Amino acid sequence: MAEYKSKTVIVRTAPMALFDRIVDLKGVTAVIPEEQKKDVVVDGDMISITYAGFTIAVKIAEKIPFSKVVFEDVEAPFHFHITLNLEPGEAPMETLFNINVDADLNFMMKTLLGGKIQEFLDKTVTAVSTGEIL
């Protein structure tokens, strides 16, 4: 299992509000470009995305209110878990946020994708902290 961890960022939102936005998967479609929305299906706690002939479906496997959300693959080319961690910051309207990914990658996939996964995680948490997404 390959493990990746994003940097930790400060999000200027209370943990409760950030948690609520994360678990509302319908909100994810708001950040998807209009021409790609046809490839995204949200059904309760599951989201499915088709891209370049591959379908990746994930579901929320665990919710610990205001501190952790775990996604796991339902359909994907490899098995993985994504954990979104939220901790109260120093101020009431601050959340410390990071993402961990555990992926069952073989050596070749780890070599090809490892750096891209790390870069994607760091860009994602930065986008959350600046309000670009969520």
Query: In a 10 Å sphere around its CB, with 0-12 CB exposed, 13-18 middle and 19+ buried, how is residue 50 labelled?
Result: middle
Instruction: Kindly tell me if the per-residue pLDDT of 67 is higher than 80.
Output: yes
What are 52-62's pLDDT values in tens digits?
Answer: 888 999 999 99
Residue 9: strand, helix, or coil: strand
* Encoded tokens for 38: 């046809």
Flag the least confident range among 16-20, 71-75, 98-102, 128-132: 128-132
pTM attached to this predicted model: 0.90
Instruction: Kindly tell me if the per-residue pLDDT of 13 is higher than 80.
Output: yes
What are 69-112's pLDDT values in tens digits?
Answer: 999 999 998 999 999 999 999 999 999 999 999 999 999 989 99
Beta strand ranges found along 2-123 (DSSP E): 2-5, 9-11, 40-43, 46-51, 54-64, 68-75, 80-88, 95-103
Round to whole Å and give the CA distance between 91 and 119: 28
